Structure 1
């Protein structure tokens, strides 16, 4: 580590340790989060933190889709898929793992196998690389959720080529009270959430405790010979959060939040969608010739027809599936007002994740392709049954910011430094794999994984209101930002052999942002921004040093975005219309391919990540709302994405990409919503709402070897009716139905058609869900 980076680490460490101590010596005003979930109108002001400070959504020169707590409930957003359905250009990637492990892609920027995500989730200003946020059971007691589209490379801790999703919890408020909400629905759906807020010492010591517990039977049943009657796609989780705000003086605020998440399910109900009758393994290197799957498992020749006859909610597996996750995190935000124009902020966090799972990838009663966490009798306390975590990373992050204004508030700036450390908490990373012919002619393969990653960055960004220094430029502002990042990644993988293959990659890069925005009037705002961001390169763990697929370089996305944000009131007709158009140039695109790699045990087909091509991604996004008459609010959103490869890296990359669709880019997406509020006087208020979302066909195919090239288009209706303040009391009663028409379409795919197993597994949309909910608010 060079001297400059060593100095950065020392400064950050001193800042992190000194800020809480300084809290006893100075004073500052409070910095509490707005109660955005109390907003009844779709046109009310929404406070966002897209530029790491509180601003009105309409004033931010970035494409942002923001949801208040009330909007999350109205649109039935409870997991990653429903969040993506309602958000322009956002796509959720299901298939190939338990459903709750799904990833996000935004504007075509998603992960390749084992690579850094293109979209980074944040909770309370801390990047969350383990993808816990967005799962079922994490949407309770939130101030808002913000989806920031496009490269985010200067103000946020982790580079993100697609964008960031910010999950902001409700901070402790200066009052005593809270709420409780219960839900019961079909499939024996039982959920309860609530929060209690206590001003232990008003304005000085504030506490908030919140949580959610959920149980639901699965909607996919096993009807096979091994696990008959077992249900999949069930829910069982507990999630809790404790926040404490301390304001010892008027110039100091220390906010600490701790949280715990536990999920324990039977995994997802993957459905067999296709089988390649020519699938098998070429064992000529061992003198055995070609080994067809169907020779060993003749039932595979009729397996697809058998599955079609059962329908997508009835399956037959040979593996006892499970999925257990335990996660905890503690975050401290300390803010110190140095003066009226200068603020020092430190954000530090530590978290741990432990996950075990067993998953039947081929979705049949034959042992073709699966993964399961190993049992370690010598360490039985880790998980039930003595299983060793497949994933057990720990995370430490530290960020120190200096925020301020100058020149009579004409200049607003932020600069600082960031670091994070990720490592595996051993023993962990141990799993058993079945992948034909392993598990048939030879024993299952054991694998041990270990990884460490580190990142350091320094950054600065400033906005200058030109009209304050030159009256002729009234309404114009310029923003510039730079961030320099150093990243180091190490991985160790042993598959079927005692000796691990290890390797490391070092990357460093400069990211920038440049924006010009103009207030045409008080309610009309236009902007143009140019920026870039990177996804770090990496190392394909099991690939030996002699292979050309051992390493892959960093991705880069450079884009230009122009946007309009407007609000209007024409003869009593109030509305909001925001539109953004963008064009991005995409270099060193990372794609997952199946390659034959010579391991010490012999040739094997492995998923590898490689730099494959350059590309272009361009599109349009619209968010709109209108209130045509009192009480009626109409909302809508739309996105269009046009993406294609423009140049392949080499002949071998061209061979696998020629004719391949660009993944994670549904060409069209839109949502339409309507809500109507009817006051009932002293008996309360009625709100009726309906929401429709539609997504055109889309692909998750990384190469042209995929058999299942496109997921079909689908549309979903959700509706609700809520009676609020029943009888003038703080009591709410409602009914809801999601997927009203019971749409049944594949929304995720694991395509192994060209591999030795020859199977294609499909993840289907959730069936119609309906139920009742009751909520009660108490206190001030």
Structure 2
């Protein structure tokens, strides 16, 4: 399919200019957020579970303050792609987002899919990516840690970790209110109130609601889709009975009643005559527009999702330099919604998803100082999770008539897919930083992790029972052998049964870093680390037990050298890194041969692959009031050993030498802002943000049908406000060139679809703070 698109591709000069970036951040309440200097700001972060300057951490980090996130229109995890070179987020098509850092990601739409980039709030894990919708809320900052973080953050952080730091209760009264209104009647209202309840107890309550109308338009009829209705709240209590004891309770909750996004139909794909609906051949494909889409009426495309998380953090200073920390958390998440799967108004592969997650985590650690500037941490943690997932697929009569008409009974109506998972992890870890001489420090860490995943799943007989009846005939079973609600998944003996499996694993993550600080503001480091992502089962339309064979844990060994350099009286901060990732057993949703159906989805391991790349970061404040952030990441990914499986279209392929899907070679970011006084205590500002992604594919094997074109997005902002931040009024415009772009391309049954990004949006923001 051909299309035209408005394009804002960077020139060579722009690529060179945008080849560097870092972002600003604040730190937790109770400690200075930043160190003032004539130029750039020195930021305090807790990336290594201790407070230190971001430019003193021998690790590639992007840190952004909550205020900067708001100014740049970053309201969810996916929006971090605007400010974080090397980060990418895509829609799996079934509600579960997939996050990538430096090319490491795990594309699986299952509710229980463990990520390779784990998200945290105040070091509390959000264990499943589907639970991250409310993470970007009432923040002090976010820290994006790149590369394996297995020693301090545990398994399932082979690509990195994203740690959101919530704004904390204050010991003096204050409150704030932020309002926004824009295109498609999108609006948001957010507020907080914070202050002491007694001499030893402080509280903070935060609320946010986002609403709005439809932004997608059907290109075959008069219909629209895309309403937003998301509400969230947070209550925090900070208790300080004595100077040496700190206790924080955080309760987060959110609910989502918005619409699900419909994909765009790219082209039909006929693998066989079995289940192909001939109406697809004549169905019009989507025009080249972000808003164009189509959808059916099998299920209501509206979410009924909610989530609650309670976290308790306690810190006790056992001595002047030893602190005991305990972090406990319990989470509950439920979802129910319809999802258009094929991008047409036909009833082909539309689905309804129901899910339930319960998760608990507990970390206990001791930390202290060592030999002056050195430090140490020892601890352990426990994680437990239970997920229930039921994905019901509704098929149209014509989509299965070719197979079942010859048996003399109706076509398939409903095909539910069941998946129940239990996850358990026990770990012990230690980390130490030892000064060798004044300018040289050796850092080492190790973690032992023991995991176990138990899974039960199958495809169920439902609706008119036709799906089961067909397989009874195929296997020569008496009619009615498979009752309604029974499994239509067959074991090796050809008998219908519930698949049950268990995957126990263990591993040792580690890291070693050599850090050299020859002078103030200069840091050089070399590191090697190893991390693991736990093995996994997938919830899918399993016809044979072989489709449920789990993938074993994947291993990433990362080598990195880098520098962080403050120049020209700290008006320039230049950081850079070269990295090489040795990847073993990369997890992938591939395919296996199933009788009657041919190649069907199953999880597989890619034996050996690698990623190599470079990253540059730059912050410049050439004159007072002007701040420029630039950044770029280059990624070269490749499968480096023979691995034969099936492409998305069923072609047998040896993937040796192929690049990773959803992994653009170039990712560029730039943000500029200028502030100046306009009289009295008021100031004005102008700002722009630009992000660029080069092209990639939605499969290992390049295919034009799964091509994801390169794109660049330009956002603008302008406003005025009080110099002390008491009030601000601003205008914003996102994707001002109305660039047509898409971030996901996939095959769904006999349709090839893509998920487009948002069109141009614009509006007004207002905020107020009261102290």
TM-score > 0.5, shorter chain as reference: yes
Equivalent-residue separation in structure 2 for 1:44 and 1:110 (angstroms): 32
In the other structure, the counterpart of 2:76 is: 79
Q: Which residue of 2 aligns with 1:291?
A: 274
1:422 is aligned to 385
1:150 corresponds to: 147
- Map of 1:444 onto structure 2: 414
- Cα deviation, residue 54, structure 1: 1.3
CA deviations over 1:54-83 (Å, ceiling 9, x no partner): 111001001000001122123221233321
Q: Contact 1:697/1:710 (CA < 8 Å) preserved in 2?
A: yes
Matched, 1:767 2:759: yes
Query: Any conservation in 2 of the 1:273–1:304 contact (CA below 8 Å)?
Result: no
Aligned match of 2:553: 554
Q: 1:158 to 1:171 in 2, by over 3 A?
A: farther
Partner of 1:27: none
Q: Is the 8 A contact 1:357 1:372 kept in 2?
A: yes
Q: Distance in 2 between matches of 1:43 and 1:96?
A: 41
Q: Is the 8 A contact 2:644 2:655 kept in 1?
A: no
Aligned pair 1:479/2:443, yes or no?
yes
Shift of 1:613: 2.8
Q: Which of 604, 611, 615 is the matching residue for 1:617?
A: 611
Other-structure match for 2:99? 104
Structure 1 range deviating more: 316-325 or 692-701: 316-325
User: Following the alignment from structure 1 to structure 2, what is the Cα–Cα distance between the partners of residues 651 and 291?
Assistant: 22
Q: Distance in 2 between matches of 1:82 and 1:487?
A: 32
Task: Give the Cα–Cα distance (whole angstroms) in 1 for the partners of residues 392 and 602 of structure 2.
Answer: 19
Q: How does 1:341-740 map to 2 (within 5 A)?
A: 341-373=321-353, 390-407=354-371, 409-424=372-387, 428-434=388-394, 441-467=411-437, 474-497=438-461, 498=486, 499-540=497-538, 547=546, 550-569=549-568, 574-597=571-594, 606-649=600-643, 655=653, 657-658=655-656, 660-701=658-699, 703-704=700-701, 708-725=705-722, 730-740=726-736
Q: Secondary structure at the match of 1:116?
A: coil
Partner of 2:494: none
Report the 3-state secondary structure (helix = DSSP H, G, I; strand = E; otherwise coil) of the residue aligned with 2:565.
Answer: strand
Contact 2:34 2:42 in 1 (8 A): no
1:263-319 C-alpha deviation (Å, 9 max, x unpaired): 11121021111212x343xxxxxxxxx4362xx433x123244x3388852424243
For the pair 1:268 / 2:249, whether they are aligned, the reply is: no
Q: How many residues align?
A: 692
1:750 pairs with 2:746: yes
The CA RMSD over aligned residues, in Å, is: 2.6
- Of 276, 281, 287, which residue of structure 2 is paired with 1:308? 287
Verify the 8 A CA contact 2:263 2:293 in the aligned structure 1: no
Q: Cα distance 1:220–1:347, how it changes in 2: closer, same or farther (>3 A)?
A: same
1:502-526 alpha-carbon deviations (Å, 9 max, x no partner)? 1110010011110000112111111
Residues 31, 46 of structure 1: alpha-carbon distance in 2 compared, 3 angstrom cutoff: closer
Shift of 1:605: 5.4
Q: 1:140 to 1:550 in 2, by over 3 A?
A: closer
Q: Give the whole-Å Cα distance in 1 for the aligned partners of 2:58 and 2:335.
A: 39
Give the match's secondary structure for 2:546: coil
CA deviations on 1:740-763 (whole Å, 9 max, x unpaired) are 1111111212223xxxx3211111
Residues 219 and 36 (structure 1), Cα distance of their counterparts in 2 relative to 1, 3 Å cut: farther
Distance 1:735 1:613 in 2: 50
Separation of aligned partners in 2, 1:620 and 1:310:
34
How many angstroms apart in 2 are the aligned matches of 1:704 and 1:537?
24
Q: Which residue of 1 aligns with 2:408?
A: none
Q: Distance in 2 between matches of 1:551 and 1:720?
A: 48
Contact between 1:36 and 1:143, CA under 8 Å: does it hold in 2?
A: no
Runs of at least 5 residues in structure 2 that lack an aligned partner in the other structure = 1-26, 402-410, 462-485, 487-496
CA contact (8 A) 1:707 1:751 kept: no
1:580 deviation in Å?
A: 1.2
Q: What is the TM-score with the length of structure 2 in the denominator?
A: 0.85
Rate the CA distance shift 1:546–1:718 in 2: closer, same or farther, 3 A. Answer: closer
Deviation sequence 1:316-365 (CA, Å, 0-9, x none): 42433222320000001000000002110000000100011211211112
Could you tell me how far apart the structure 2 residues matched to 1:532 and 1:647 are? Answer: 20
Alignment CA distance shift 1:565-1:729 (3 Å): closer
The answer as to whether partners of 2:389 and 2:418 remain within 8 angstroms in 1 is: yes
Farther off after superposition, 763-772 or 88-97: 88-97
How far off is 1:766 after superposition? Answer: 0.4
Distance in 2 between the 1:652 and 1:311 partners? 31
Tell me which moved more, 556-565 or 438-447.
438-447
Deviation at 1:218, TM superposition (A): 2.1
Q: Which residue of 2 aligns with 1:229?
A: 223
Matches within 5 A, 1:182-261: 182-202=179-199, 204-222=200-218, 228-232=222-226, 234-261=227-254
Q: Distance in 2 between matches of 1:238 and 1:651?
A: 43
Cα distance in 2, alignment partners of residues 392 and 548 from structure 1:
23
8 Å Cα contact 2:92/2:107 also seen in 1: no
- Over 3 Å counting, the alpha-carbon distance change for 1:712 and 1:651 in structure 2 is closer
Residue aligned with 2:633, SS: strand
**Secondary structure in structure 2 of the residue aligned to 1:248:** coil
How far off its partner does 1:443 sit?
Answer: 2.5
- Partner residue, 2:319: 339
